[in-house]
Amino acid sequence: MAELHAPESCKRKRESDGAPGEGGEAQPASLSSFKLQTVLRESARDKTIFMHAKLKDKEGDEKDAVVILEKTPFHADGISDILSDDPKLKLQMSNDVYSTYSLYPPPQLSEIKTTLIFPATEKHIQKYRRQEVHLIHESGEDYRSITLPFLESQSFSVQWVYNILEKRAEADRIVHENPDPANGFILLPDFKWDQKQVDDLYLIALCHIRTIKSLRDLSSEHLPLLNNILSEGQSVIQKQYGVNKSQLRVYLHYQPSYYHLHVHFTALGYDAPGTSVERAHLLSDVIQNLGLDPQYYQRRTLTYALREDEPLLQKFREAGKC
Ligand code: DD3
């Protein structure tokens, strides 16, 4: 079965870094011990499948894993190669001028993007299970009395973010850095983007400052930081990828999936996950709102969806808020 190879840059890092949990957890050498537990979710439209599996680590111990497979988009330059290389074609049906086939491209043109979370916690597994969702209208007071105490009681690890900020992981993927400790950030491609085509461009800006958990913590004092992220991000992406700022969606999530302030940059033409009205907040709107009211995000009711199984939803129910 498939061998997993770390990229060269990653291998180099790993030798000097040693301590797992800092530079990264130990990775299994292959998927050959893969044992499917359950399919958590699949989407014919997105061509993705999310699986809970068991994998053996280097010591031979079986541990939980989440394995995500995704068929990747076509890109124009590769397409002639697939068709002109005399690929295997199997006729499905033929009728008048119409016919359909199964085409079997050579391995280098039939790649499947694979994401592995290993070892995976119950939280990781839960996150990908399909669930009912419910809207929450969280007032500023609800945030302070329900959401914040809940967040503080949880141990959400953002170690992977600190690894990036400290150049202990993904250093070779950094596209831009403003090193200022208060108003600086690192811009790099998100995990979800394989960087093969700009159609589904997806980068994230991670702030150097570690005290801003989310949109709720923002006030007008953060305007220099937010303005830097917007203007430097737009201009670097224009230079590096040729995507104009008029074709970029720049936004924050509330609730975010990790509590270290970050900003998403996605191609406007790409229907990126998490761009729904109940989650995405355009950075340009955020900047303007903070200009109107320095405490805008401490005062406003923010609406978002929570999954049926999320403990935070339970907290809102206990408080009689939904
Ligand atoms: C994550 C949100 C977090 C599963 C998965 C992703 N971009 C990341 C580690 C390194 C990264 C990201 C959590 C985790 Cl698939 C659980 O995302 C990351 N590196 N979004 C980059 N560049």
Q: What is the mean pLDDT of the chain?
A: 90
**193 with 98, same domain?**
no
Instruction: Count CB neighbours of 153 within 10 A.
Output: 9
- Total of domains in the chain: 3
Identify whether the C-beta of residue 68 lies closer than 8 Å to the C-beta of residue 49.
Answer: yes
The per-residue pLDDT for 76 is 79
CATH assignment of the domain containing 97: 3.30.200.40
Angle ∠(197,129,149) on CA atoms, nearest 5:
100
Ligand 1 closest atom vs CA 189? 22
CA of 31 to the centre of ligand 1 (A): 20
Same domain, 293 and 152: yes
Same domain, 294 and 250: yes
Q: Is 156 in the pocket of ligand 1 (CB under 6 A)?
A: no
Asked if residue 240 and residue 223 are part of one domain, the reply reads: yes
State what percent of residues in the chain have pLDDT above 90.
79
**Strands, sheet with 262-267, edge to edge from the N-terminal-most edge strand:** 176-178, 185-189, 202-207, 262-267, 248-253, 280-282
Query: Is residue 245 packed enough to be buried (19+ CB in 10 Å), middle (13-18) or exposed (0-12)?
Result: middle
103 and 117 inside one domain: no
For residue 297, pLDDT beyond 90 = yes
Higher pLDDT, 166 or 155: 166
Q: Which residue shows structure tokens 């007071």?
A: 141
Same domain as 205, residue 95? no
pLDDT at 190 over 90: yes
Same domain, 100 and 142: no
Average pLDDT of the residues in 199-208: 97
How far apart are alpha carbons 105 and 11 in whole angstroms? 30
Domain hosting 82: range is 73-110
Answer yes or no: do 106 and 54 share one domain.
no
What is residue 21's three-state secondary structure?
coil
Distance 24 CA to ligand 1 centre (A): 12
Task: Give, for 292, the enclosing helix (H) or strand (E).
Answer: helix 283-292
Find, among 119, 66, 147, the residue nearest to 310 by Cα.
147
Q: Residue 219 is encoded by which pair of tokens?
A: 């006030």
Same domain, 177 and 207: yes
Distance of alpha carbon 322 from alpha carbon 311, whole angstroms: 13
Asked whether residue 85 falls in the same domain as residue 52, the answer is: no
Q: Are 25 and 10 in contact (CB under 8 A)?
A: no
Residues 279 and 306 placed together within one structural domain of the fold: yes
Residues 173 and 61 grouped into a single domain: no
The enclosing domain of 16 has a CATH number of 3.30.200
Q: What mean pLDDT is predicted for residues 13-38?
A: 62
Give the pLDDT score at 4.
57
Give the CATH number for residue 169: 3.30.428.10
